[in-house]
Structure 1
Amino acid sequence: MSDRGDSASMEEATRVFSVFTNPAETTSTVIIGAGIIGCATAYYLSRSGNTKPDTIHLVEASPELFASASGKAAGFLASDWFGPPTASLGALSFRLHKELADTIKLPISHLAGHSIVVKSPRWSREHETGGCHAVFTTMKSGFSPEVFSRIGGEIYVAGLNDPALPLPETATDAQIDQKSIEELKATAQKLLGRDGTDVSDLEVMREGLCFRPVTKMGSPVMTRIPDEELGAGLVTAVSPDGGVFVAAGHGPWGISQSLGTGKVMAEMMEGRE
């Protein structure tokens, strides 16, 4: 779940396959995509009591974990920022995030998209009287920057999307466009101001590029794919004995809606709709 993200292809989405070779003896569930959606689905399947945890298999195309959208997301969580189609999913996910955090005590925090993180000696801890801030604005250059200040003097700048940027074979093949990074740097200078000199005092801490799966309708797809749509004459068993499922297209809300998606998909795959 781009900062460059609205350019993403559904090919980068998490696809969930549930294959039952012999329901009476062996149940194998293969989840393609080990980002937060795939992991959440595996987690709730393993906790349901209906699926043996050692029969759940996560498959990731990249040579490292969380190389795609999940590993570059801002970790933003919201309970009510969603439109009517996904409002209930957002509320469910928010509740589950709290429950999971209370259970395992793990902080969840990631960074997103074609972005840079900068800091300036003009801002220090002494100036941090109001905690973190977020600014959403529009530039004459045609894009809408998003600026987030962080405790410690760091500033996260993003919002430069490009639907024409080709999707790489794997997430680790993504190449940062330095021209876009320079544009983000210039944007940061305009938004944050200079100290009266021609020399920038912003230090770039980190650069990033992320592809996010999106849909034209703006809502995720969470469903079982009908056999006739699979092609090649493939026929799957009736749930919960088989099927091909998809959970994709969460756009900028993959982290926020992940746990609700995982729980819903687990119930759907086990025929508990």
Structure 2
Amino acid sequence: MPHTVILGGGIIGLSAAYYLAKLSKEAESQGGTAARTIHIVEPCPELFASASGKAGGFIARDWFNPAVAPLGALSFDLHRTLAEAHAGSARWGWSESVSYSLDRNSSLASGSVTPSNELEPEQTESEVDLDAEQARLELPYWLQTPPHAAQAISDRKTTGQLNPHQLCEFLLEECIDMGVRLHHPARASRLSRADANDPNSQTMIALNLLATTSTGREIRTGTLDIPCDSLIIAAGCWTPEVFRTLFPNAARTPAIQNLAGYSVTLRSKHWAPRPPAHTQAPRPCHAIFTSDPSGYSPELYSRAGGDLWLGGVNSAALPLPARAMDARADPAAVARMLAVGRELCGDDVEVLESGLCFRPVAPSGKPTVARVEPRELGAGIAPPAVAGGGVYLAVGHGPWGISLCLGTGLVVSEMILQRPTSTDVSGLAKW
């Protein structure tokens, strides 16, 4: 029975576990392959504590450079298919979205795109022309800006919106239902052979089982050795540390940098979730991209659950915490964004939460989705790169991790199962 170990329980690792378990079970039911055991290893006591849980959840189909474009299109289509198959609108806030560029130099006259006393006119289909109503709903009517200030830059068929934390919860539940094993909190510490005297014996990976004291100190409570025929490193910004730990003799490590991003989640009376039984035309979400005189580019997303996500203040200088849950948002950065939120959405917005997360960025601006050549691992022990085994990298997605997660997970799974990949990722092999 082959064993796959996935280091990182964020949205990339979960997507890989989901598709690998799904494809393996389908093949097993058809008598094609032996059963596969899949392990997810996550060291942070709080699941989804970084970008996987705190990102805005905006996704796009065709906003990528040529090397990433095939993966972007595949992943977007998978998002739609997954949502249609599993009630994604209700379970993780999946929605089509329309994107806008907002000119804040336009006069911010009082009122919004629609009259301020009209959130959504409660009219029956017989009282309103649905095409006209749909056209109105595609406008960001909840913005407190003049209509001419916002210009559409995408239609609802090529951009979408979801709640990343809820999608992670769904993927984890599905994985566990399919028999995936979660080791949490736990950290991989070394690779070894089942028989130290036999270089051809089973590769094993040692896990330190962790706990946190009342003072926040991390302690080791035990160890666990599990078989490892294929290894997926999907540890986000912590990937270089993971790689160095397991392959100390490698000549280089993945050149992943961390980009910190602040966010504020708001609620506005002008944007509310639509009741499930509503009979009017479907309402898309909206993505607003604008600028600010203080020198950053705010991004504001309306989400199907009735909240608004605001981000755009980033920093490449903040040190990466040892654990994602230890990140603390700077009150000054939050206040800077909140001022924009109140200007665009009204002074009466309610602040639900603020956050800080770290996104893994590669110098090339492209993610790495590939198997690592054995020679790149240096002298030492590694899963043999035969029959789908070996070491795989799925990292460096930057601000597009949510958008690209499903496609990445599917393609890596296909590589391990020695299948043709669903799209061309040859341009993402370098790291």
| TM norm structure 1 | 0.76
What is residue 118 of structure 1 aligned with on the other side? 266
What is residue 16 of structure 2 aligned with on the other side? 41
The share of aligned pairs that are identical, in percent, is 49
1:148 aligns with 2:295: no
For residue 45 of structure 1, report the CA deviation from its aligned partner.
1.6
What is residue 5 of structure 1 aligned with on the other side? none
1:209 pairs, out of 338, 352, 356, with 356
Q: Which amino acid aligns with 1:104?
A: H
1:168 aligns with 2:321: yes
What is residue 179 of structure 1 aligned with on the other side? 332
What is residue 23 of structure 1 aligned with on the other side? none
Q: Secondary structure at the match of 1:181?
A: helix
Q: Which amino acid aligns with 2:7?
A: I
Identify the structure with the greater strand proportion: 2
Looking at structure 1, the residues matched to 18 and 305 of structure 2 have their Cα atoms a distance apart, in angstroms, of 34
Looking at structure 2, the residues matched to 144 and 132 of structure 1 have their Cα atoms a distance apart, in angstroms, of 20
Shift in alpha-carbon separation, 1:29–1:169, aligned structure 2, 3 A: same
What is residue 411 of structure 2 aligned with on the other side? 264
Q: Which amino acid aligns with 1:229?
A: E
1:219 aligns with 2:219: no
What is residue 312 of structure 2 aligned with on the other side? 159
The one-character-per-residue Cα deviations of 1:92-141 (angstroms, maximum 9, x if unpaired) are 112222332233334333269511123456x476xxx9864332112121
Q: Secondary structure at the match of 2:2?
A: strand
For residue 262 of structure 1, report the CA deviation from its aligned partner.
0.9
Looking at structure 2, the residues matched to 102 and 68 of structure 1 have their Cα atoms a distance apart, in angstroms, of 27
Shift in alpha-carbon separation, 1:138–1:62, aligned structure 2, 3 A: same
1:213·1:249 contact (CA, 8 Å) conserved in 2?
yes
For residue 77 of structure 1, report the CA deviation from its aligned partner.
2.6
CA RMSD of superposed structures (Å) = 2.6
Q: Secondary structure at the match of 2:46?
A: coil
1:45·1:51 contact (CA, 8 Å) conserved in 2?
no
1:131·1:150 contact (CA, 8 Å) conserved in 2?
no
Shift in alpha-carbon separation, 1:152–1:258, aligned structure 2, 3 A: closer
Q: Unpaired segments of 5 or more residues in structure 1? A: 1-25, 194-199
Shift in alpha-carbon separation, 1:124–1:81, aligned structure 2, 3 A: closer
Looking at structure 2, the residues matched to 190 and 69 of structure 1 have their Cα atoms a distance apart, in angstroms, of 26
What is residue 286 of structure 2 aligned with on the other side? 133
Looking at structure 2, the residues matched to 166 and 118 of structure 1 have their Cα atoms a distance apart, in angstroms, of 27
1:93·1:258 contact (CA, 8 Å) conserved in 2?
yes
1:227·1:236 contact (CA, 8 Å) conserved in 2?
no
Looking at structure 2, the residues matched to 31 and 149 of structure 1 have their Cα atoms a distance apart, in angstroms, of 33
Q: Which amino acid aligns with 2:15?
A: A
What is residue 76 of structure 1 aligned with on the other side? 58
Looking at structure 2, the residues matched to 153 and 262 of structure 1 have their Cα atoms a distance apart, in angstroms, of 29
1:115·1:156 contact (CA, 8 Å) conserved in 2?
yes
Shift in alpha-carbon separation, 1:88–1:205, aligned structure 2, 3 A: same
What is residue 81 of structure 2 aligned with on the other side? 99
Q: Secondary structure at the match of 2:358?
A: coil
Deviates more, 1:40-49 or 1:160-169: 40-49
Deviates more, 1:100-109 or 1:245-254: 100-109
What is residue 375 of structure 2 aligned with on the other side? 228
2:374·2:385 contact (CA, 8 Å) conserved in 1?
no
1:247 aligns with 2:394: yes
Q: Secondary structure at the match of 1:209?
A: strand
Q: Which amino acid aligns with 1:174?
A: A
The one-character-per-residue Cα deviations of 1:50-78 (angstroms, maximum 9, x if unpaired) are 4624x110111111322221111222232
Shift in alpha-carbon separation, 1:133–1:105, aligned structure 2, 3 A: closer
For residue 215 of structure 1, report the CA deviation from its aligned partner.
1.1
Looking at structure 1, the residues matched to 84 and 354 of structure 2 have their Cα atoms a distance apart, in angstroms, of 32
For residue 239 of structure 1, report the CA deviation from its aligned partner.
2.7
1:66 aligns with 2:48: yes
Shift in alpha-carbon separation, 1:158–1:102, aligned structure 2, 3 A: same
The one-character-per-residue Cα deviations of 1:203-261 (angstroms, maximum 9, x if unpaired) are 31211111111112111101111222223433542332521110011112212211111
For residue 148 of structure 1, report the CA deviation from its aligned partner.
2.6
What is residue 196 of structure 1 aligned with on the other side? none
Q: Secondary structure at the match of 1:40?
A: helix
Looking at structure 2, the residues matched to 151 and 225 of structure 1 have their Cα atoms a distance apart, in angstroms, of 39
1:77·1:255 contact (CA, 8 Å) conserved in 2?
yes
Shift in alpha-carbon separation, 1:79–1:65, aligned structure 2, 3 A: same
2:299·2:310 contact (CA, 8 Å) conserved in 1?
yes
Q: Which amino acid aligns with 2:405?
A: S
For residue 145 of structure 1, report the CA deviation from its aligned partner.
0.8
Looking at structure 1, the residues matched to 271 and 361 of structure 2 have their Cα atoms a distance apart, in angstroms, of 38
How many equivalent residue pairs? 237
Q: Which amino acid aligns with 2:78?
A: L
Shift in alpha-carbon separation, 1:92–1:63, aligned structure 2, 3 A: same
